[in-house]
Amino acid sequence: MNNTIGIYIHLPYCPTKCGYCDFNAYLAPGGDAFARYTSAVLAEMRLAESLEGRQRVGSIYFGGGTPSLFPAGDVGRMLDLLRDLHEIAEDAEVSLEANPSALTSDQLRQFVGAGVNRLSIGAQTFSAPLLAAIGRDHGPDDIVRAVGMAREAGLVRVSLDLMYGLPDETDADVEKSVMRAIGLGVGHISAYALELEPRTVFGHRHRRGDLALPGEDDVVRRGDMIGGCLAHAGFTRYEVSNHARPGERCRHNERTWQRGRYRGFGAGAHSFLGERRFWNVAHPARYASDVEGGVLPVAGQEDVSKIARGEWAYLALRTFHLDRQAFEDAFGLPIEAAFPKTFRHALEDGWLRRTGPAWVVAEERRWLLGQLAARFLDEGRTP
């Protein structure tokens, strides 16, 4: 994977806006919005190729928004163009995020036909009242149906997204959700603790005192319960919020944690090409008009070459593993020598233990990762 790049394509439209979501997502407009947006992404891909050159692609990820809302033909055109412009690895992972509502067998077969080989379904929870409370437009049965259709369409790799820490949620709700998800036989489950973002419906309600969120103790207990159930079912927690059966990890996301390169296309998409991180204009219409004008729709960028070491550790910590050899290969010195202060503290304070080729975060500290990550980031600056 070292010489390959990941490609992320942002498809920003949604059927409804969920109360917790502050992603770059918009209610789907009518008319030719999908076609126009797709054209813009195609134009951006051509523009990028002319400036950055042909790449070897190891993974492709359609994120959103609700990518499954897009006509399969549009997804197909984007994949076709990528195959024209770049060399796509034989075993490339091509993921697409889907909403369980309004998903049809035909559509799924078309996605598969276009080259999609992994589906990530936004299940969130198997409790109908909780789904309604967070503003989802599907019910628990839709999830079951979606997984079945995906399998029929030939999708072997299916992931379910779950959320916990939701308003008025009980331990039983969480346990039921994770057990039903496991019962559907998928190989990958993401379980995200709700994060309250200020510019969301939930954020406003919270400020008004109108949102009963579980306390930190509840969230931690439920997260541990999810991890326990999944471990028992043969899943490994390979990242803070991601659990997979053997061979089922999301390679595109792993690339992010390994500080691998990726190119993001579409409104608000982020890219990292090794030295700098940059991101596109967020609003789809403004994004499209930039691209139509023949310029890269870049909204901002950041040179991360001086914080590379800290960033490497901050990202790797999300997987609870610091691969000593990988660090030395990337930076030419042992990780312990790059972060002497942090290691002294981490070892004295019981954060890390050595397991073969890696430093591993102590099980009981995994909820407090931010504390250690901040130290690595701070010490990882180079002049």
Chain residues that interact with other proteins, rule: CB under 8 A: 8, 10, 23-24, 63, 192-195, 216-217, 219-220, 240-241, 256, 262, 264, 268-272, 277, 279, 302, 311, 314-315, 318, 366-371, 373-375, 377-378
Number of Cβ atoms within 10 Å of the Cβ of 355: 9
> CA 34 to CA 69: how far, in whole Å?
9
Answer whether 90's CB lies under 8 Å from 112's CB: no
Residue whose structure tokens are 């407009």: 29
- Name the residue nearer to other proteins (CB basis): 153 or 161: 161
Instruction: Output 149 or 174, the one with its CB closest to other proteins.
Output: 174
Q: Strand 13-14 to strand 270-272: parallel, antiparallel, or no bridges (unpaired)?
A: unpaired
* CA atoms within 13 A of residue 217's CA, in its CB half-sphere: 0
CB 277 within 8 A of CB 256: no
* Three-point CA angle 76, 78, 83, nearest 5°: 95
- Least distance between other proteins and beta carbon 89 (Å): 19
CB of 316 to other proteins, least distance (A): 12
Quote the least distance from Cβ 311 to other proteins, whole Å: 7
**DSSP single-letter state for residue 347:** H
Which two tokens mark 11?
């498809």
Nearer to other proteins, 197 or 323 (CB): 197
- Least Å distance between CB 185 and other proteins? 24
Whether the CB-CB separation of 320 and 346 falls below 8 Å is answered with no
Rounded to whole angstroms, how far apart are CA atoms 147 and 119? 9
221 vs 324, beta carbon nearer other proteins: 221
Distances (CA, A) of 118 to 56, 75, 95, 360: 20, 14, 4, 29
Q: Which CB atom, from 279 or from 339, has the smaller least distance to other proteins?
A: 279
Residue closer to other proteins (CB basis): 325 or 371:
371
- CB 288 to other proteins: min, Å: 18
Q: Which is nearer to other proteins, 149 or 164 (CB)?
A: 164
Contact 212, 167 (CB under 8 A): yes
With CA atoms as reference, report the closest residue to 199 among 28, 62, 64, 17. Answer: 17
User: Would you say 305 or 371 has its CB closer to other proteins?
Assistant: 371
How many whole angstroms separate alpha carbon 70 and alpha carbon 38?
A: 9
